[in-house]
């Protein structure tokens, strides 16, 4: 079993490589079970037992399957089960599972539509492509034979709160992999119905695969396995799924926060990491206040600059004297390049001319800095060529200078 691949193993790699490493390379075991997983397992257990009776032509009542679910819940529930969504109680999840079974029973009664072949069946098979093959493992929720349509049906129960779209079903490869396993025993399974039962929604999603799609699937899975086996870097990946991960206590993204959650207030404040964050936050807030003060100062300076330009124009002066410093007022006309946002057509034309005339490399890009420096040395005929693409703007600048 150590060398087997599975759908969940590949999904673990896709979702978070560090989680994959903990689980499948380091083989770290954990006793953590989430309430969602617990509820899903109890629903699966009840349906398995129910369909084992159906397989032998015994149809138990709805009361029976609810009672069996109740027994399974009470027998297995313990206080160590993790509840991520604190707004919901264990009783809320119990009721969800109960409703799943009740709605399912009403939907499919009297349960004689197909013949039950397997329930909760461990399956082992090989994925093959280009003379390469890899062992695979999975657990099939239920396999039926539809005698009327002469076709196998691969059933999967889902208690997740997210409903799969038809597009996702047509691209999903878990049940398609199970179809490949069934084909190794029954070649007629080349045509099969893939059926997901989203129990919380009382909705069935169905899909199928062609022979070509199954061949392509094996190629995709083999490539993914080769990527996994060549992987040497296993970084953590933060996502919404982290709250349901078994390894938060050792994950570098969560180890310290989870440790801090368990401390009393006084102990929490003494922690070196908490102290570092507190000090850094304090400095960041101070920096924000200084940035705001600088912004306010620059706004005030801008008003003074406007007043200085006004005074210089009115009095026809260029230098304004002060106690220790002077303001030097510069007023001049200058050609500048349009920005791409300002005039995209002229910007592109100017760039094209610069490239064509082998001058683009001199300036790297079309901007005002290049004009102020390079236009002093460019030939007049070239300046005339690009002048219509430039903007004639009056520049008014105020500089603070020393009296010395």
List pLDDT tens digits, range 177-226: 999 999 989 988 899 999 999 999 999 999 999 999 999 999 999 999 99
In the structure, what pLDDT confidence band is assigned to residue 32 with cuts at 50, 70 and 90? confident
Helix locations, 135-210, DSSP H = 166-171, 174-183
Question: What average pLDDT does the segment 52-63 reach?
Answer: 96
In this prediction, residue 378 carries a pLDDT of: 79
Q: Model pTM?
A: 0.71
Domain ranges of the chain: 7-230, 275-315, 318-402
Peptide bond between residue 110 and the one before it cis (omega within 30 degrees of 0)? yes
Residues 213-234 have pLDDT tens digits of 999 999 999 999 999 999 999 9
CATH of span 7-230: 3.90.320
| 371 within 8 A of 335, measured Cβ to Cβ | yes
- Chain-centroid distance of CA 64 in Å reads 42
DSSP per-residue letters across 300-330: HHHHHHHHHHHHHHHHT-SEEE-SSEEEEEE
> Alpha carbon of 169 to those of 175, 209, 238, 251: distances in Å?
9, 11, 26, 32
Q: Cα(93)–Cα(101) distance, rounded to whole angstroms?
A: 13
Q: Which has more pLDDT, 229 or 360?
A: 229
- Is 279 exposed, middle or buried, given 0-12, 13-18 or 19+ CB atoms closer than 10 A? exposed
Q: Cα(140)–Cα(124) distance, rounded to whole angstroms?
A: 10
Q: Cα(42)–Cα(70) distance, rounded to whole angstroms?
A: 9
């Amino acid at each position: 079993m150590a060398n087997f691949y599975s759908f969940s193993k590949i999904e673990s790699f896709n979702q978070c490589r560090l989680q994959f490493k903990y689980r499948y390379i380091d083989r770290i075991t954990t006793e953590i079970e989430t309430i969602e997983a617990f509820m899903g397992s109890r629903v699966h257990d009840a349906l398995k037992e129910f369909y084992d009776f159906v397989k032998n032509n015994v149809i138990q009542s709805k009361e029976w399957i609810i009672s069996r679910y109740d027994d399974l819940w009470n027998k297995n529930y313990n206080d160590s089960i993790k509840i991520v969504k604190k707004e919901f109680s264990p009783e809320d999840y119990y009721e969800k599972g109960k409703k799943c079974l009740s709605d399912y029973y009403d939907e499919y009664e009297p349960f004689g539509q197909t013949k039950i072949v397997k329930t909760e069946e461990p399956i082992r098979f090989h994925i093959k492509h280009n003379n390469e093959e890899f062992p695979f493992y999975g657990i099939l929720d239920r396999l039926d034979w539809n005698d009327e349509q002469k076709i196998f049906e691969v059933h999967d129960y889902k208690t997740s709160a997210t409903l799969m779209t038809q597009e996702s079903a047509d691209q999903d490869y878990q049940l398609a992999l199970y179809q490949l396993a069934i084909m190794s025993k029954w070649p007629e399974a080349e045509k099969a119905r893939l059926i997901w039962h989203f129990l919380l929604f009382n909705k069935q999603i169905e899909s199928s695969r062609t022979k070509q799609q199954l061949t392509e699937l094996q190629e995709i899975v083999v490539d993914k396995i080769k990527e996994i086996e060549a992987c040497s870097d296993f970084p953590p990946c933060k996502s919404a799924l982290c709250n349901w991960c078994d390894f938060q206590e050792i994950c570098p993204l969560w180890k310290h926060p989870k440790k801090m959650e368990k401390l009393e207030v006084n102990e929490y404040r003494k922690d070196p990491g908490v102290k570092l964050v507190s000090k850094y936050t304090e400095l960041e807030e101070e920096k924000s206040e200084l940035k705001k003060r600088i912004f306010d100062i620059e706004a005030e300076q801008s008003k003074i600059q406007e007043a200085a330009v006004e005074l210089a124009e009115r009095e026809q002066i260029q230098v304004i004297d002060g106690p220790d410093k002077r303001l030097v007022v510069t007023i001049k006309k200058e050609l500048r390049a349009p920005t791409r946002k300002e005039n995209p057509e002229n910007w592109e034309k100017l760039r094209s001319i610069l490239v064509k005339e082998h001058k683009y490399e001199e300036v790297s890009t079309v901007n005002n800095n290049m004009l102020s420096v390079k236009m002093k040395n460019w030939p007049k005929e070239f300046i005339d060529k690009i002048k219509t693409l430039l903007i004639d703007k009056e520049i008014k600048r105020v500089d603070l200078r020393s009296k010395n």
